[in-house]
Structure 1
Amino acid sequence: MSHDALPQEQRFLEALERDAWPDPEQALTPEAVGMAPEALVELYESQLMSRHLDLAARRLQARGEGFYTIGSAGHEGNAAVALALRPDDPAFLHYRDAAFFIQRARRVPGQNPLRDLLLSFAACAEDPISGGRHKVLGSKALAIPPQTSTIASHLPKAMGTGHALALLRRLGLEGEWSHDGVVLCSFGDASFNHSTAQGALNASGWAAYQGLPMPVVWLCEDNAIGISTPTPQGWVAASMAARPGIHYLACDGLDLLDTWRAASEAVRIARVRRQPVFLHMRCVRLYGHAGSDAQQAYLSPARIQADEGRDPLLVGAGLLRRHADLDREGIAALYHGVRERVASLAEEVIGRPRLHSAAQVMASIVPPARSGRAQPWQGRVDAAPDTLARRLNQALERLMTRYPHLVMAGEDIGRKGGVYGVTQKLQARFGAHRVIDTLLDEQSILGLGIGLGQSGLVPILEIQFLAYLHNAEDQLRGEAATLSFFSSGQYTNPMVVRIAGLGYQKGFGGHFHNDNAIAVLRDIPGLLVACPSNGADAVGLLQEAVRLADEEQRVVVIIEPIALYHTRDLHAEGDGGWCFADPGPEHRLPVGELGRWGEGRELAILTYGNGVHLARQAAATLEADGVALRVLDLRWLTAIDHDAVQAAVADCGRVLIVDECRRTGSVSEELVTGLVERGVPGERLARLTAEESFIPLGPAATATLPSVASIVEAARALLGRSGA
């Protein structure tokens, strides 16, 4: 027996010495489930590879050479699920699915899964999926997009991918995956309880219940504990066995034959009937949650010993003895051969290069570019001035015509045409399959978009109100914006997210319909955020956002000021001063390009969104005071070109930054910093922001926000004209 064997490894070696193996719960044979004995041996070898990777990860960590020890021990039955699928079926994997990964790699030429996974454990730059940025189970060749610490956040995009397969077929377009593919999404019993998981499961059942194709196999790997919290016995089955729209199947994950039987049936239903299946795989967690987890603190010795006796490697060895004509020496040769191979590879990979510089780490935050797919526009352009909402509606119609792979989705955007009429008549024009009325769940809406984008489409999603984003923002932060980063640009999910937001709505909604909290969007690496102040700019920003998504595979958010959707006038009722002509199909406003009104050199008002409209109104009063000013519109609230901002205000005596978001965490902080860093003296600068408050209902709705009067007052104070 090896002197450096870990406890569970010692138990296996003792069983091997005695040639004594536990029986599975069911007395199945390979013949009964349609599996060749050679396949059983192959699956078992994949399980051994996974187990020895877990052991190697812990040994490497103890030496300071490895950085990830959440292993797959006890879950290795998922190798049989991999065998039931095609290697080109997209698989969104739980972090305990190394055996699945290894087994799938056997079906694709040129793969070296042991080395690849060890490179990932050791954070080596040659890791073929993440480039050393994180330990992830992912591979372009294996149709496995990377997932990191998947606490259910990958389920919505798996649902979206399932919908995308049928949609691509209907549109007659080729995508990332085969039209007849099946999506596999795996997760644990603890993650099953997460609201994100429940939302995705509900969305898949909701779609299937209405007859929409949803070929997804939801694989719940139930080890009965979430770190230290037990899962109530029978809870998962009771929750899912009668779930509308979803088939329920169960299997013993310790038994390769039973798992193969159930997985094959699950895949058959999903592939042939295009319906979702919940595959409940009972398994066991060995070695604790991770290397740092001392499960003795919360599990009794009897429980730990009982779990160790349920090791799938012990059960699998017994299957080989009975059904694969493999004797004790043959099993020993398999076990030790894999152990030595993994150990040798581990010593080799720890000498490979690792990331060191910020530039190396950040190289894949922005996805790679690709060829654009826009078709020429041959329709008319509306020269008559109109509102922001109307300009957006016309731009969306034009974009949907020019881009056959463009799809819209959101609450009430189809039949109703959106809460504010921005998407009116688009569903009638393009069909319910391209202008999708979704269920009321922002996590599912964003997940749908991620799945559509990753599959080859370009989605335009609508979040009805900015406040509604906050319960789903991790779909942008933890999923959409990280995919390129964790896959070295091999996987992308381009998308445009339209969000109705900001304040100044009159007599409606209070905080949840007047929300000025955008900091959560602005600090996501790689995410682009735009905010139009008028109809012409809205067209330019939207058309640029779609180009960025289509050609540069970016994730772009457009915050649309609700209060300006239907605003027609600037200074007086009926003047039409805030209506603009359609600037045309080729009008785009690149990231960082500023808008500008006026050439005055005494004062520059730097602002965005509603602030532009307010500043233009305040300018009339200030100009009457004799102030020569200009108004600058940021347009883009991330990736700000600070050199361009500095150049735009360099010849102005004073700069007033008007920010309708709260003083803390607002874009004005970045603007002040950028200007001061470029030599603009602090005494030339002032900020006017919203108060540190939520927005109330009724007449006080604008009391905490910048106003025309407060802009005039702040400008006068900055110019030393307080008595004007």
Structure 2
Amino acid sequence: MDRVSIVHENFLRRVAAGDFPAGKTDAGALEAGAALELFRAQGLSRALDLQSRMMQKAGQGFYTIGSSGHEGMAALGHALRVDDIAFLHYRDAAFQIARAAKAGQTGMMRDMLLSFACSVEDPISGGRHKVLGSRPLMIPPQTSTIASHLPKALGAAHSITLARRNRPEHAILAQDGIAMCSFGDASLNHSTAQGAINAAGWTAVQGIPLPLLFVCEDNGIGISTKTPTGWVKATMSARPGIRYFEADGLDMFAAVKAAEEAAEWVRRHRKPAFLHLRTVRLYGHAGPDVVTSYLSRAEVEADEAHDPLLYSARGLVALGAADAEQVLEIYQQTLADVAQAAKEMAETPRLKSATEVMASLIPPKRQIAPSNGPGAERRAEVFGSDMAQIDQPQPMSRLINWALHDLMLEHPETLLMGEDVGRKGGNYGVTQKLHARFGPARVIDTLLDEQSILGLAIGLAHNGFIPMPEIQFLAYLHNAEDQLRGEAATLPFFSNGQWSNPMVLRISALGYQKGFGGHFHNDNSLAVLRDIPGLIIACPSTGDEAACMLRECHRLAREEQRVVIFVEPIALYPMRDLLEPGDGGWMRDYPAPDLRIELDSVGVHGDGADLAIVTYGNGHYLSRQAQHDLAAQGVDARVIDLRWLAPLPEAALLEAVGDRPVLIVDECRRTGGQAEALMAMMAEADVTKFARLTAEDSFVATGPAYGATLPSREGIVAAARSLLA
């Protein structure tokens, strides 16, 4: 017999014989009716696991990672309020079923089966993936979460506190609510989990309210790698700022008591807590997993002997809520009901076309209240001494700073966060004075952890805020990039557009810093961002356009719920001159607060018919210099600034190019750079003549060779002459 059948038969035999696990049930934790309701939730979770495997064998189902052994999570579904946002471990079907019952929601059996079948009628993902999740039940969907949901749970918890004083128009979380996230003991070891837990403790120690409940479901193994005995308690029971609770998650009565105590402590104290639940994993990791290939039969049978449904049956009998015969009747009837319901799933429609699959990549626009902006007196008060300079040409860093001022004045739900963005004003002064003028609740100095910075932003966005996180340097995004790829950008896709986490991520980026930092502070690769579906990437090159584009990015986040990356070229922050020292040719006036540059547009500079130079960022600056040099040599060039790197503004770009030969100047690397896509576009559009000048496939050096691998003014002139030869 396979392990699934063995566990099933063991339950039938042992309940009939009254052969329950040793120990006593704390029957006072639940009334009889509530205990029976939780057992029904646990039984349905188990029955769905069994049915998922049968559906897979019949070619009707596509997911077999089950919740068997983790049915104790029904206790959390019972203990928490329905409006407490919950970020769930993928083994938490019992939680969702119990919460649905608490909310009076019916149809959970069918909903789960639809998700197994990848049916378009699946109410959470629309057939895109088997995920736990529900908008009415306040459960954002997760995919194969290996701790990547912990940082955003922290952000959601912090948003509850911030919304008490500054409630956004689209806030959804109760002011006295808490956030919960659950995960396995193996996931606890992931750097993302450790970072989030550390950030929670770091926050709490400073006296900042953070109503967050971590729940670790400790089954002692991660796929085939065992967790050392006592490891979870040893590492978590004395963490600064975090209260530790533990319970036997096999016993739903004990689990309910501990869950209620932990949840109440978090709700009352507004501080984080860690609930450690003992569980077991039955059947192995997933359907194809043969657990006896890496565990001894004795170890497998020992876990099976601790089937949590046997503990629940023991408690029901002890409480007098049901006798053994009634327990078995509930169990068997649930199996039959699920089997009957599963027959209908074979006939439900599935996604078929690329259009259907991609329909939820872009979240729906949302209704927003009109904003009249601050009055002139209030604006003058906040800008303070800056008003005396606001009509004078300024470098990019100052104009971005003023744009942030105006956005925060007009939209109170807008928050900035990142390392050094507050009191210091950012590494390059781009956020200076904002902390003093808007306060620490809106300009948040974070710890040095990019995963926590992005997770904070994602969680805040769940509760209606418009976060504008900052990553100091592009190179430091890479250890947190999964927060974009695996969380922020995928949420609309996997929730069929029901959930989103809009934001504008500002990154100090790209190369050309003279003699500073090498490749860590001169990272010239955007490849990891360009291929994330649904992501918008903006890259300004002049200060006035930076201000206008930043406003459009904010609008895209606020109104269209988009995740936007705003790439700020570090080398252009202080740039003043264009052709000669002191000419002031790269400084700009601050544009009126209502001016924006829309997505899908390009910047066109010059009417030259001989050549079109297509570029962006620092490449735009260098190309304008080369444009001047080429004119002196009799070549009349047009420079086209892309502005938007994803999605590429194809129609506007091709219109601006016309019938000119095209030189693409890309400061990113030859491999994986924007030029690859642009060259393909030119070929597909039958542009007659085109070439590219890119950075070499190399990291950037520190010192005098900082620009040796990058396009230069002289190199652009030479490439243009070669193309026209």
Say yes or no: TM over 0.5.
yes
Partner amino acid for 2:36? V
2:690 matched residue in structure 1: 685
The residue type paired with residue 202 of structure 1 is N
> Post-superposition shift, 1:4?
12
Hey, what does 2:291 align to over in structure 1? 295
1:717 pairs with 2:712: no
- Of 594, 606, 611 in structure 2, the residue corresponding to residue 598 of structure 1 is 606
Instruction: Write the distance in 2 (CA, Å) between the matches of 1:4 and 1:709.
Output: 71
- Residue 265 of structure 1 is matched in structure 2 by 261
| SS of structure 1 residue aligned to 2:214 | strand
CA distance in 2, matches of 1:211, 1:523: 40
Q: Does the Cα contact within 8 Å between 1:40 and 1:324 map onto a contact in 2?
A: no
Q: What is the rounded CA distance, in whole Å, between the counterparts of 2:453 and 2:274 in structure 1? A: 21
Report deviation, 1:378: 3.9
Q: Structure 1 vs Structure 2: percent identity of aligned residues?
A: 56
Taking the TM superposition and a 5 Å limit, the aligned residue runs for 1:410-449 are 410-449=418-457
Residue number in structure 1 paired with 2:383: none
Matches within 5 A, 1:301-320: 301-320=297-316
Aligned to 1:63: 58
Aligned partners of 1:172, 1:513: CA distance in 2, in Å?
Answer: 37
Q: 1:548, 1:567 → 2: CA distance?
A: 28
TM (normalized to structure 2)?
0.97
Provide Cα deviations, 1:340-371, integer angstroms capped at 9, x if missing partner: 11111111122111110111111111011013
1:146 aligns with 2:141: yes
Of the three residues 12, 26, 32, the one matched with 1:29 is 26
Q: What is the rounded CA distance, in whole Å, between the counterparts of 2:234 and 2:408 in structure 1? A: 44
Equivalent residue runs for 1:504-583 within 5 Å: 504-583=512-591
Does 2:100 correspond to 1:105?
yes
Conserved in 1, the CA contact under 8 Å of 2:504 and 2:566? yes
Deviates most, 256-265 or 107-116:
107-116
Question: In the alignment, does 2:647 pair up with 1:609?
Answer: no
Q: CA RMSD in A?
A: 1.3
How far apart, in 2, do the equivalents of 1:617 and 1:5 lie?
71
**How many Å separate the matches in 2 of 1:388 and 1:370?**
32
Letter in 1 for 2:720: A
Q: How does 1:295-694 map to 2 (within 5 A)?
A: 295-373=291-369, 374-379=371-376, 382-652=390-660, 654-681=661-688, 684-694=689-699
Q: Could you tell me whether the CA contact under 8 Å between 2:75 and 2:255 is conserved in 1? A: yes
CA contact (8 A) 2:630 2:717 kept: yes
Mapped contact 1:417–1:425 kept (Cα < 8 A): yes
Hey, what's the Cα distance between the residues in 2 that align with 1:375 and 1:412? 31
Return closer, same or farther for 1:593/1:189 CA change in 2, 3 Å cut-off: same
List per-residue Cα deviations over 1:469-492 (Å, max 9, x = no partner): 000000000000011111111111
Per the alignment, residue 72 of structure 1 pairs with 67
Q: Which residue of 1 aligns with 2:702?
A: 697
Residue type of the alignment partner of 2:273? V
1:5/1:635 CA distance change after superposition, 3 Å: closer
- Structure 2, unmatched stretches of 5+, are 381-386
CA contact (8 A) 1:495 1:554 kept: yes
- What is the CA distance between 1:585 and its match in structure 2? 1.2
Are 2:127 and 1:120 aligned? no
- 1:121–1:696 Cα change, 3 Å: same
Shift of 1:109: 3.0
Shift of 1:325: 4.0
Match of 2:40 in 1: 45
1:244-270 residue CA offsets vs partner (Å, 9 max, x unmatched): 000000000111111111101100111
Correspondence list, 1:275-286, <5 A: 275-286=271-282
What is the CA distance between 1:337 and its match in structure 2?
1.0
CA distance 1:466–1:325, change in 2 (3 Å): closer
Alpha-carbon offset, residue 563 of structure 1:
0.2
How far 1:111 moved relative to its partner?
Answer: 2.8
Aligned-pair CA distance for 1:238: 0.5
What do the CA deviations read for 1:642-670 (whole angstroms, capped 9, x no partner)?
A: 22211111232x11000000001111111
> 1:145 Cα shift?
0.5
Amino acid at match of 2:331: Y
Letter in 2 for 1:352: T
SS at match of 1:251: strand
SS at match of 1:450: helix
Distance in 2 (CA, whole Å) between partners of 1:3 and 1:253 is 25
Which residue identity is paired with 1:702? G
Distance in 2, matches of 1:515 and 1:336, equals 61
1:599-621 Cα distance to aligned partner (Å, 9 max, x none): 00101100000000000011111
TM-score under structure 1 length normalisation: 0.97
Contact 1:38 1:324 in 2 (8 A): no
1:156 pairs, out of 142, 151, 160, with 151
**How many residues align structurally?**
712
Aligned residue in 2 for 1:20: 19
Picking from 706, 715, 722, the partner of 2:711 is 706
**2-structure distance, mates of 1:637, 1:711:** 20
SS at match of 1:368: coil
Deviation at 1:384, TM superposition (A): 1.5
Amino acid at match of 1:234: G
8 Å CA contact 1:502–1:562 kept in 2: the answer is yes
Shift of 1:30: 2.3
Letter in 1 for 2:116: F
Are the aligned partners of 2:16 and 2:325 in contact in 1 as well (CA < 8 Å)? Answer: no
Asked whether the 8 Å contact 1:592–1:636 carries over to 2, the reply is yes
C-alpha contact 2:27 2:318 (8 A) present in aligned 1? no
1:544 positional shift: 0.2
Contact 1:104 1:142 in 2 (8 A): yes
Task: State the AA in 1 paired with 2:686.
Answer: G
Deviation, 1:11, is 1.2
Residue 267 of structure 1 aligns to which amino acid in structure 2?
Answer: A
Task: Please state how far the C-alpha of 1:58 moved relative to its aligned partner.
Answer: 0.5
AA aligned opposite 2:372: Q
Per-residue Cα deviation, 1:212-269 (whole angstroms, up to 9, x for no partner): 1111110000000000000011111010000000000000011111111110110011
Structure 1 residue 23, shift from structure 2 partner: 2.7
Distance 1:173-1:618 versus aligned 2 partners, 3 A rule: closer
Equivalent-residue separation in structure 2 for 1:461 and 1:21 (angstroms) = 53
Change (3 A) 1:110 1:42: closer
Give the Cα separation in 2 of the matches to 1:115 and 1:520.
38
Question: What letter is aligned with 1:116?
Answer: D
Structure 1 residue 634 displacement after superposition: 0.1
Q: 1:695–1:704: 8 Å Cα contact kept in structure 2?
A: yes
* 1:570 and 1:578 in contact (8 A); partners too: yes
Match of 2:190 in 1: 194
User: What are the superposed Cα offsets for residues 439-461 of structure 1, whole Å, 9 maximum, x if unpaired?
Assistant: 00000000000000011100001
C-alpha distance in structure 2 between counterparts of 1:173 and 1:491, whole Å = 16
Instruction: Label 1:377 to 1:580 Cα distance change in 2 as closer, same or farther (>3 A).
Output: farther
Q: Which amino acid aligns with 2:545?
A: D
Q: 1:220 is matched with which residue?
A: 216
**What displacement does 1:383 show?**
2.8
Distance 1:433 1:8, change over 3 A: same
Contact 1:591–1:640 (8 Å) recurs in 2: no
Alpha-carbon distance between aligned partners in 2 of 1:172 and 1:43, rounded to the nearest angstrom: 35
- Would the aligned equivalents of 2:373 and 2:409 in 1 still touch at CA under 8 Å? no
- SS where residue 557 of structure 1 aligns? strand
